């Protein structure tokens, strides 16, 4: 997204985070034109008339997530990601409509900022449906249908019951056979990765690159990443191992007998048949992050057996046997590199500098341990290590000097008077 949303005043964001609707109106008015421009850029000319909907949904999502915004950087990062996600949703809806009906979506009028503010406030104050009551009504309807179904089945010939028992037995046998097949596949994959002829693709600190695997899968690797590929890949199996972060664009295999494409990251296996998704798992991180751009993937923890399906537009963090949705600034912190930037949100300086070393290949170190816990919030484009060092120095109130071998040495600056 080339359009950069304006960073609001900290005092307005603070009032917004506390639930002040006047601050909501102020921010929406300030951001509205930039939101429309960003949405238009992401939607393209054909769908640009949906930019008002995208802006509306993005600001509404920000309001619902308002308590997490500790500073203007976090707010802007969330809003940018919300625009991107809603634009993706609109594009997918349009594509689905085009496939079903062979025509484009109807024209939608983009209102003025006054119209937009009025519609947003109307939606916020619309009557709320009682979820408990709605759920009880649904359960009652379900029980009624179930009773009617039992009455109908009770009058059927008994030979149908015997047939049903036979079907259950056959299904159990097939299910057991599939479980054995899966277990055998896992053992074969384990053995393949222990072989001496595993190929390793590597990106160093400050490097990113793309490669096409033997089955046609395109891999875009983030900095300091390793992708291990067994010799059997594309022959008898399609599983790779990841240490780092990478985006995989998977197409259908030319060999229908091959299993689905899969990525192992830590104890997690991410499986797909055709999609675009990103995985992040560095060895110094306890969690695995998965984001799906197109299609769906299945995540499985090989230790606990926990499984989760992730659809397009969704992201989650998996840690300690549990999966949790990943949204807003947390999603940006983990995956902004896919959009040529990195984001920090109240991250301790002691963690920020190693990340700069990772993504910019900088020769840098923090020589002042007393500043290691200093919180840092900033967004950096991945195109200039010099600019990154300058922004860090200003944002975290640091002094920067050059040590041996031109090493950048950061230390805490005297407190501003």
**pLDDT tens readout for residues 181-209:** 444 566 777 787 887 788 899 999 999 98
- Overall pTM surpassing 0.85 (yes/no): no
- What pLDDT does 180 receive? 40
- What pLDDT does 101 receive? 47
- What pLDDT does 143 receive? 54
- What pLDDT does 378 receive? 93
- What pLDDT does 345 receive? 93
Q: What is the mean pLDDT of the chain?
A: 81
Rounded Cα distance between 217 and 197, Å, is 20
- What pLDDT does 145 receive? 47
- What pLDDT does 161 receive? 43
Q: Which residues of the chain have pLDDT under 50?
A: 100-106, 128-131, 134-135, 138, 141-142, 145-146, 148-165, 168-169, 172-183, 415-417
């Amino acid at each position: 997204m080339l359009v950069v949303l304006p960073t609001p005043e900290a005092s307005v964001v603070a009032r917004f985070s506390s639930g002040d609707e006047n601050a909501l109106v102020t921010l929406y008015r300030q951001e509205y034109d930039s939101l429309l421009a960003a949405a238009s850029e992401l939607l393209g000319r054909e769908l640009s008339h949906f930019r008002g909907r995208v802006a509306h949904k993005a600001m509404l999502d920000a309001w619902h997530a308002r308590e997490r915004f500790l500073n203007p950087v976090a707010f802007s990062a969330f809003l940018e990601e919300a625009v991107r996600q809603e634009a993706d949703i609109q594009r997918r809806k349009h594509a689905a409509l085009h496939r079903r009906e062979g025509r484009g979506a109807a024209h939608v009028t983009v209102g003025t900022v006054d119209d937009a503010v009025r519609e947003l406030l109307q939606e916020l104050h619309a009557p709320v449906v009682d979820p408990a009551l709605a759920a009880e009504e649904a359960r009652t309807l379900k029980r009624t249908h179930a009773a009617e179904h039992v009455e109908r089945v009770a009058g059927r010939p008994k030979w149908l019951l015997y047939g049903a028992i036979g079907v259950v037995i056959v299904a159990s046998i097939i299910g057991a056979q599939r479980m054995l097949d899966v277990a055998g596949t896992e053992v074969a994959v384990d053995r393949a990765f222990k072989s001496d002829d595993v190929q390793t693709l590597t990106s160093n600190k400050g490097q990113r690159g793309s490669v096409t695997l033997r089955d046609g899968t395109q891999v875009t690797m983030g900095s300091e990443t390793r992708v291990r590929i067994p010799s059997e890949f594309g022959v008898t199996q399609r599983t790779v191992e990841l240490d780092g972060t990478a985006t995989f664009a998977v197409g259908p295999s030319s060999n229908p007998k091959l299993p689905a494409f899969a990525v192992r990251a830590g104890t997690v296996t991410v499986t797909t048949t055709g999609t675009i998704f990103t995985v992040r798992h560095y060895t110094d991180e306890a969690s695995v992050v998965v984001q799906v751009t197109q299609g769906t993937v299945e995540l499985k923890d090989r230790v606990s057996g926990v499984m989760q399906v992730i659809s397009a537009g969704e992201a989650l963090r998996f840690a300690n046997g549990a999966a949790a949705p990943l949204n807003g600034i947390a999603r940006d912190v983990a995956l902004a590199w896919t959009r040529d930037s990195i984001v920090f949100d109240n991250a301790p300086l002691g963690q920020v500098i190693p990340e700069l070393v990772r993504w910019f290949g900088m020769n840098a170190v923090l020589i002042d341990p007393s500043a290691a816990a200093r919180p840092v919030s900033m967004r950096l484009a991945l195109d200039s290590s010099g600019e990154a060092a300058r922004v860090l120095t200003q944002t975290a109130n640091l002094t920067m000097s050059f040590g041996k071998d031109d090493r950048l040495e950061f230390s805490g600056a005297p407190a501003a008077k």
